[in-house]
Structure 1
Amino acid sequence: MENNMHDGIKDTMEHKYIPMTSFASGLGQAVMHDLYCYTNQIVNVCFVGSPENPNNWVLIDAGMPESANRILEAVKERFGENSRPKAIVLTHGHFDHVGSLVDLVEKWDVPVYAHEAEIPYLTGKLSYPEPDGSVEGGLVAKMSPLFPNEPINLGNCVEAIPSNGSIPNMHGWRWIHTPGHSPGHISLFRDEDRSLIAGDAFVTVKQESLYKVVTQKQEISGPPRYLTTDWNAAKESVKKLEALKPAVAITGHGMPMSGDELSEGLEKMVRDFDRIAIPDYGRYVNRKH
């Protein structure tokens, strides 16, 4: 019977290893006692849950293609041998956030949750728009047409996250719809200590610049330009997150940020979004704001 669960699953990320990495790759950081950020090549995944309770945690996002073994190694280090999450929650479905998802779902047999607007990209029905190699930015932007944009197919292993804002198995957290970078992009927030998992709604490294990606030079930046297709929505999403006044933020790319650096960076981002975040040119740019 168990195999039926995985009927119809298609892993389009197989053999799509992308040889990009940063100095932080392979490193993990406990941002709070129950909030852990692990850097997989150039993208972050989060473990939400206390290491003292290895059977009660949730994985946020699933890293780069062909990375399942590295993620499993990080899980073992954090939670011990044979630990598996209660669920996987996706901020969105771009290749660098679902790269190892099918492998992990097949190993763990756990439910996957995503915003209903993201489900078509996770069930093989819709491809994301092609990455824009012409967008203003650096070498990563130029390389982006090589990044996969076709959907994976999780079949019935993925379901829409509850519409009331709650997150299964994540007591005290709520999700916030933060579209722009993708239609069903969500960020996760815990009111009690103002912890934010922002996905790619904003990031703490200039993701278009290879030098900054490799060195992880910190600066609050808008969502990665080569995959962002709706800049008006992206701007509103950053405003929404800044209004929460997060104390600490883990973003999809770059190192976690907290305190004044985070609050001042976000205020500046909201104030100067058009200048800082929106590229001067690119396929998805419309400067009429």
Structure 2
Amino acid sequence: MSISTLQDFENFIEIFPNIYRATFNLQFGPLHWPVSIFLINVEPSNNIWILIDTADPDNISKFFTALTQHFLKFPNYQLKYILLTHDHFDHTGSILRLLDEYKDIKLVLGEPESFHTNNKNVNGNTHTQQLATVEGKITVDKNRIVMIKREKEEEFEFFNVLKPIFIADHTLEFVSNNIGSISYLHIPTNCIMVGDSLMNLSTSQCSEPVISLPFTSTPSHLNSVKESIKNIARLDVKIVFPAHDHSQKGLSINDVRAFANTLKT
């Protein structure tokens, strides 16, 4: 299935009430993967929005074009938070530009197993936090970071609309990862955005998407990922949206449960 045939290719489309998705082409050599970004209207009456993930570095320009076109339909909007499911480069590519263009926006991270801080100054006087990515390090002013802690998820401002959920006590490790993997449940629609916890990809342009495991670097990480998928399958949710998904409509929880039942750890 070709990524360009998706209705939301390089364009934010409402896929459930107040949930919008845009999909971009992530290229690894000859491979082409869909990578999805979500916009959530958490307070329609006040026009307040939250972004989940930010595309890969090669798609920054296309992402901002889609974002600009989307918000032309919503004058006087407020983009309040960037939520990261995890810190891989294809989810963090637009962070610095977003922080530069939206002066009041904050970056929301899941509680990490470890994270890097330093005492170098940004603009003269602020401590910073570094997010490790495949592309290097992104340095962010700590005053613009909100850290969601385990067992204190309800402290997130929009917890009653977009609930943070730690699927498992691990991070998804491809090369380097220092930010805890976290999913977000949109309570009004009972849809959950799970980042790279699982994938739904076509093996060719002619085949239907198939649920699969994400890439992992060690057998222990593979077992952790399998446990995460089993934990997702236990949730009382309706639709699961992976970040890498050839389907326009996501996965039904029944399909995720059927896949989880095939996994052995």
- When the two structures are superposed, what TM-score results if normalisation uses the length of structure 2? 0.73
Q: How far is 1:68 from its partner?
A: 3.2
Decide whether the 8 Å contact of 1:86 with 1:169 is kept in 2: no
Query: 1:238: which partner in 2?
Result: 229
Matched, 1:59 2:51: yes
Query: 1:85: which partner in 2?
Result: 79
Return the alpha-carbon distance in structure 2 between the equivalents of residues 77 and 111 of structure 1.
22
Give the structure with the higher percent helix: 1
Return 5+ residue gaps in structure 1 as ranges: 1-20, 129-147, 275-288
Decide whether the 8 Å contact of 2:193 with 2:241 is kept in 1: yes
Q: How far is 1:245 from its partner?
A: 3.7
Give the structure with the higher percent strand: 2
Return the alpha-carbon distance in structure 2 between the equivalents of residues 228 and 262 of structure 1.
28
Q: How far is 1:161 from its partner?
A: 1.9
Return the alpha-carbon distance in structure 2 between the equivalents of residues 256 and 54 of structure 1.
28
Decide whether the 8 Å contact of 1:201 with 1:223 is kept in 2: yes
Query: 1:112: which partner in 2?
Result: 107
Return the alpha-carbon distance in structure 1 between the equivalents of residues 219 and 71 of structure 2.
35
Query: 2:261: which partner in 1?
Result: 271
Letter in 2 for 1:63: A
Q: How far is 1:76 from its partner?
A: 2.7
Deviations 1:68-96 (A, max 9, x none): 33223222333326745111111001000
Aligned length, in residue pairs? 228
Deviations 1:134-183 (A, max 9, x none): xxxxxxxxxxxxxx353322131323125422333454221111345246
Runs of 4+ in 1 over 4 A off after TM superposition: 50-54, 81-84, 225-229
Q: How far is 1:35 from its partner?
A: 0.4
Matched, 1:205 2:201: yes
Matched, 1:152 2:138: yes
> In angstroms, what is the RMSD of aligned CA positions?
3.1
Return the alpha-carbon distance in structure 2 between the equivalents of residues 40 and 227 of structure 1.
28
In structure 2, do the counterparts of structure 1 residues 72 and 149 end up closer, same or farther at CA, with 3 Å as the change threshold? Answer: closer
Query: 2:183: which partner in 1?
Result: 187
Query: 1:252: which partner in 2?
Result: 243
Return the alpha-carbon distance in structure 2 between the equivalents of residues 223 and 170 of structure 1.
27
Decide whether the 8 Å contact of 1:119 with 1:159 is kept in 2: no
1:222 to 199, 208, 213: 213
Decide whether the 8 Å contact of 1:205 with 1:221 is kept in 2: yes
Decide whether the 8 Å contact of 1:93 with 1:121 is kept in 2: no
Letter in 2 for 1:265: D
Letter in 2 for 1:91: T
The sequence identity of aligned pairs, in percent, is 19
- When the two structures are superposed, what TM-score results if normalisation uses the length of structure 1? 0.67
Matched, 1:177 2:166: yes
Decide whether the 8 Å contact of 1:173 with 1:189 is kept in 2: yes
